[in-house]
């Protein structure tokens, strides 16, 4: 009964103290697609990704009801750094849903107008006002929306007359800066920080450095395999601490139930104990600041696996080794030559096999659909030579001769001509370890890719177009694996089907190097239309620094080089977040996102037919 009454009181006082309007809430997931499009349309950096912002403690004054309910201590502050635009996961500040949506649009416009390096603690107030001024000057259509938002925000902010003198001065300065952007250079000093300004972006929190550290004794692959992903992908404030050695134990000369109050004043090392529950993930999601230390103990949350390279006796057969490729350094804005080392591999112990029975009917149906693309034979008349006589031309020549007219100079033969399609296609499949994930109760991503390659190779046999099948994975820049499945000159037979059956997932996704090598293969083809079709399930990443903006920009530069060679790149992905970064890589019409991965085997041949129909 006591717990029941306590729960009722907690819900009652929390609702009473809340200043949000859940019925009018707008979520970032609803704005995800339009947010990226608007951000790039307003001149924002196209390489930035949009992600949810973390809730942080703002330290501003709260009313007595909020203090009683222990609510309102944290707020999700919009922020921007060199790689990410962070927006609140949900906006329910106003009772009008249209205003909440307009607030999202204004924050996106602010992020596009802010400097590329982000904000710092000293100049973020003036930078926000300059961004507001620039946005209103460049896009006058935002003026009416901005005035409505300012009026609604001021109505929600505390009354300066009820604040202490120092806080009232800061609040008056904020109100003036919102009404007249550019009129305030800095806020007056106050004991407490002011209430967060919903129309401004704040300096981004320091991100946890997840890159591989040479001083870290824990293998990077095990760290990658044992991590538990935060479902919201929110950025945390972080600080680095020295790992306690555990030699000096904490003596507790008091009752155990007082440990909680004592821990508020003493740093207590809480090691991670493995278990089946999700308490560590939930605890981390509630932390405002995360302390990170190097630990030599190996832990894993769910799955244990080893990403070490297999021995030569069990690895795939190397065909070419030591192929050196460049890589684009986004931070230095230069192409570094010979940065990556690529090996071309052939599947080991790939036994020839027939097409699986479950794919025979879909393959036959796709072949019939693609037969329309097959070039048809055509008879050309009045040719000087050919396989048969042109009877119409012979009759005309005989008639002209007997009527006294000069005979036609054209030929009297029929020639059969077959007009070939002057195109080829290279399919580059992502075979990284992420493709081992399950998309349904019966299929993994790698199974979907395998079925897609089977059906694609069977369907293209009806068109006669030359094509090649390749796969790639990587483990750092010195070991990039490029798997040969089918060369352009190979026939589709049981041997090729056996190679498709032998593909297996492993390692990481250094996409830029794989695209550069595929470009070299396609550049040697004589066809006029050369299509580079990429199958992927996520962003480019590797165990070293190749992640985030670095991997995106390197892949983008490799695609620029492919287009300069006359290639046409196109990406098919099952990554639901792909629309946030794929337009930056492939352009608005250069990619396709599949919401249902199991449709990829049938979708891929049809997509090829659409891309090459002209």
Tell me, what's the pLDDT at 569?
96
Strand, coil or helix: 288: coil
Angle at 174 between CA 172 and CA 176, to 5 degrees: 70
The predicted-structure confidence for 265-318, as pLDDT tens digits, reads as follows 444 454 444 444 445 555 555 555 566 565 555 544 444 444 566 767 678 889
Q: Tell me the C-alpha distance between 471 and 519, whole Å.
A: 14
Comparing 439 with 305, the larger pLDDT belongs to: 439
Strand, coil or helix: 24: helix
| Best-predicted range by mean pLDDT (6-20, 164-178, 225-239) | 164-178
Comparing 309 with 52, the larger pLDDT belongs to: 52
Domain with CATH 3.40.50.410 in the chain: 335-370+421-612
Q: For the chain, what percent of residues have pLDDT higher than 90?
A: 41
Compute the mean pLDDT over every residue in the chain, rounded to the nearest whole number.
Answer: 81
261-271 burial by CB neighbour count: b if 16+ within 10 A, else e?
Answer: eeeeeeeeeee
pLDDT band at residue 175 using 50, 70 and 90 as cut-offs: very high
The predicted-structure confidence for 534-543, as pLDDT tens digits, reads as follows 999 888 999 8
The predicted-structure confidence for 501-560, as pLDDT tens digits, reads as follows 999 998 999 999 999 999 999 999 999 999 999 999 888 999 888 988 899 999 999 999
Q: How far is CA 61 from CA 65, 69, 194, 505, in A?
A: 12, 14, 7, 54
Tell me, what's the pLDDT at 227?
39
Strand, coil or helix: 211: coil
| Best-predicted range by mean pLDDT (126-130, 205-209, 224-228) | 126-130
Instruction: Quickly count: other Cβ atoms within 10 Å of residue 598's Cβ.
Output: 16
Q: For the chain, what percent of residues have pLDDT higher than 70?
A: 79
Strand, coil or helix: 91: strand
Closest CA to 81 of 41, 56, 50, 39: 50
21-25, 30-34, 336-340, 471-475: the lowest-pLDDT one? 30-34
Tell me, what's the pLDDT at 207?
42
Q: Which residues have a Cβ under 8 Å from the Cβ of 441 and sit 6 or more positions away?
A: none
Q: Which residues have a Cβ under 8 Å from the Cβ of 165 and sit 6 or more positions away?
A: none
Tell me, what's the pLDDT at 211?
38
Residue 493, pLDDT above cutoff 90: yes
The predicted-structure confidence for 113-126, as pLDDT tens digits, reads as follows 988 766 777 788 89
Tell me, what's the pLDDT at 203?
86
Q: Tell me the C-alpha distance between 319 and 346, whole Å.
A: 7
Tell me, what's the pLDDT at 38?
85
Tell me, what's the pLDDT at 236?
54
Look up tokens 């998309």; give the residue.
439
Burial class (CB in 10 A: 0-12, 13-18, 19+), 238: middle
Name the CA dihedral angle for 529, 534, 535, 538, rounded to a multiple of 10 degrees.
Answer: -150
The strand ranges marked E within 217-354 are: 237-240, 289-292, 317-329, 334-346
Tell me, what's the pLDDT at 376?
54
Residue 596, pLDDT above cutoff 70: yes
At residue 404, what are phi and psi to the nearest 5 degrees? Answer: 90, 5
Q: Tell me the C-alpha distance between 150 and 183, whole Å.
A: 15
Tell me, what's the pLDDT at 51?
83
Q: How far is CA 522 from CA 180, 401, 425, 464, 566, in A?
A: 57, 56, 8, 17, 9
40-54, 140-154, 240-254, 432-446: the lowest-pLDDT one? 240-254
Tell me, what's the pLDDT at 414?
73
Contact (Cβ atoms closer than 8 angstroms) between residue 428 and residue 501: no
Architecture of domain 335-370+421-612: 3-Layer(aba) Sandwich (3.40)
Helix (H) / strand (E) containing 523: helix 511-523
Tell me, what's the pLDDT at 451?
94
Residue 599, pLDDT above cutoff 60: yes
The predicted-structure confidence for 59-79, as pLDDT tens digits, reads as follows 888 877 777 777 778 888 998
Work out the widest C-alpha separation in the chain, in whole angstroms.
130
What's the pTM value of the predicted model, to 2 decimals? 0.70
* Range 27-48 average pLDDT: 83
């Amino acid at each position: 009964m006591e717990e029941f009454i306590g729960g009722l009181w907690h819900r009652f006082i929390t609702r009473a103290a809340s200043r949000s309007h859940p019925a009018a809430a707008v979520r970032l997931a609803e704005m995800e697609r339009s947010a990226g499009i608007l951000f790039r349309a307003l001149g924002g950096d196209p390489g930035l990704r949009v992600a949810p912002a973390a809730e942080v403690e703002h330290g501003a004054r709260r009313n007595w009801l909020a203090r009683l309910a222990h609510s309102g201590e944290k707020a999700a502050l919009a922020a921007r750094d060199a790689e990410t635009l962070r927006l609140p996961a949900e906006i329910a500040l106003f009772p009008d849903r249209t205003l909440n949506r307009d607030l999202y649009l204004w924050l996106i416009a602010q992020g596009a107008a802010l400097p590329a390096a982000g904000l710092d603690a000293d100049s973020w107030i003036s930078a926000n006002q300059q961004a507001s001024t620039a946005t209103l000057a460049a896009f006058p259509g935002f003026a009416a929306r901005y005035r409505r938002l300012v009026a609604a925000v001021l109505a929600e902010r505390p009354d300066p007359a009820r604040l202490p003198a120092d806080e009232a001065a800061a609040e008056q300065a904020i109100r003036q800066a919102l009404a007249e952007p550019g009129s305030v250079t800095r806020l007056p000093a106050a004991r407490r920080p002011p209430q967060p300004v919903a129309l401004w972006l704040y300096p981004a929190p320091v991100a946890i450095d997840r890159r591989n550290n040479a001083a870290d004794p824990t293998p990077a692959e095990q760290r990658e395999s044992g991590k538990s992903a935060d479902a919201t992908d929110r950025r945390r404030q972080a600080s680095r601490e020295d790992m306690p050695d555990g030699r000096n134990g904490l003596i507790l000369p008091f009752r155990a139930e007082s440990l909680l109050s004592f821990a508020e004043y003493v740093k207590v090392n809480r090691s991670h104990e493995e278990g089946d529950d999700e308490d560590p993930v939930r605890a981390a999601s509630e932390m405002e600041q995360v302390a990170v230390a190097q630990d030599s103990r190996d832990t894993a949350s769910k799955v244990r696996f080893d990403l070490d390279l297999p021995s030569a006796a069990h690895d795939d057969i190397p065909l070419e080794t030591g192929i050196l490729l460049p890589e684009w350094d986004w931070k230095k804005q230069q192409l570094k030559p010979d940065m990556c080392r690529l090996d071309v591999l052939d599947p080991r112990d790939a036994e020839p096999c027939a097409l699986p029975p479950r794919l025979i009917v879909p393959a036959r149906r796709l072949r019939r659909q693609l037969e329309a693309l097959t070039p048809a034979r055509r008879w050309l008349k009045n040719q000087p030579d050919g396989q048969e006589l042109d009877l119409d031309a012979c009759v005309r020549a005989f008639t002209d001769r007997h009527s006294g007219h000069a005979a036609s100079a054209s030929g009297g033969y029929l020639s059969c001509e077959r007009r070939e399609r002057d195109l080829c296609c290279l399919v580059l499949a992502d075979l990284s370890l992420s493709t081992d994930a399950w998309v349904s109760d019966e299929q993994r991503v790698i199974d979907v890719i395998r079925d897609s390659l089977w059906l694609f190779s069977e369907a293209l046999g009806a068109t006669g177009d030359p094509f090649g099948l390749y796969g790639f994975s990587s483990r750092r820049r010195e070991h990039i694996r490029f798997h040969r499945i089918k060369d352009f000159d190979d026939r589709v037979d049981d041997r090729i089907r056996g190679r498709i059956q032998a593909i297996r997932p492993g390692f990481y996704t250094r996409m830029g190097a794989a695209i550069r090598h595929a470009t070299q293969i396609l550049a040697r083809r004589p066809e006029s239309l050369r299509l580079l079709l990429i199958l992927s399930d996520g962003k480019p990443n590797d165990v070293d620094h190749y992640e985030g903006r670095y991997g995106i920009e390197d892949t983008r530069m490799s695609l620029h080089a492919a287009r300069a060679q006359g290639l046409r790149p196109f990406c098919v992905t099952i990554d639901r977040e792909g629309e946030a970064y794929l337009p930056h890589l492939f352009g608005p019409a250069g990619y396709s996102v599949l919401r249902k991965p199991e449709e990829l085997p049938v979708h891929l041949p049809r997509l090829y037919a659409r891309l090459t129909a002209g």
